[in-house]
Amino acid sequence: MRFILSFLFVVTVIPALKAQTPASATSTTPAGNAQNGKKIFSNYGCYQCHGFEAQGGAGARLAPRPIAFTAFSKYVRQPTGEMPPYTSRVVSDKELADIYAFLQSIPQPPPASSIPLLSK
């Protein structure tokens, strides 16, 4: 039942929890390697809650249009919710920048109206 509930949670509840603020390109956003960021996103287990495309799952949707880097970084290091903390001992600042670059590289999906299964 735990897994059943989990599936339900993802499909029914999580969408209501997410809110994305468009990121603004600011000087506080470090340059990062999106390709390496994608690899880290998988290897360090980010995908477990957020999905391989950062689309959300047990955790919030992170992309496209991730929140500003400072807020992102602050939350990763010192989460106020359920997310486990990723300190600099396990994810370096450089790696965090790479992950953020990966999130920024994820394109906007097509609108629901253009997908037949979602437009009905």
Omega of the bond leading into 64 within 30 degrees of 0 (cis): yes
**Is residue 55 a contact point for another protein (CB under 8 A)?**
yes
Judged by CB under 8 A, the stretch of 24-32, 66-74, 77-85, 94-102 that binds another protein is 77-85
Q: Is residue 4 close enough to count as binding another protein by CB under 8 A? A: yes
Residue with tokens 């920048």: 97
Distances (CA, A) of 109 to 23, 53, 87, 101: 17, 11, 31, 18
Q: How far is the CB of 48 from another protein (least distance, A)?
A: 5
Distances in Å between the Cα of 57 and the Cα atoms of 8, 18, 30 are 11, 10, 27
Q: What residue ranges bind another protein (CB under 8 A)?
A: 1-8, 10-18, 43-45, 47-49, 51-53, 55-58, 61, 64, 81-82, 84-87, 89-91, 109-112, 115, 117-119
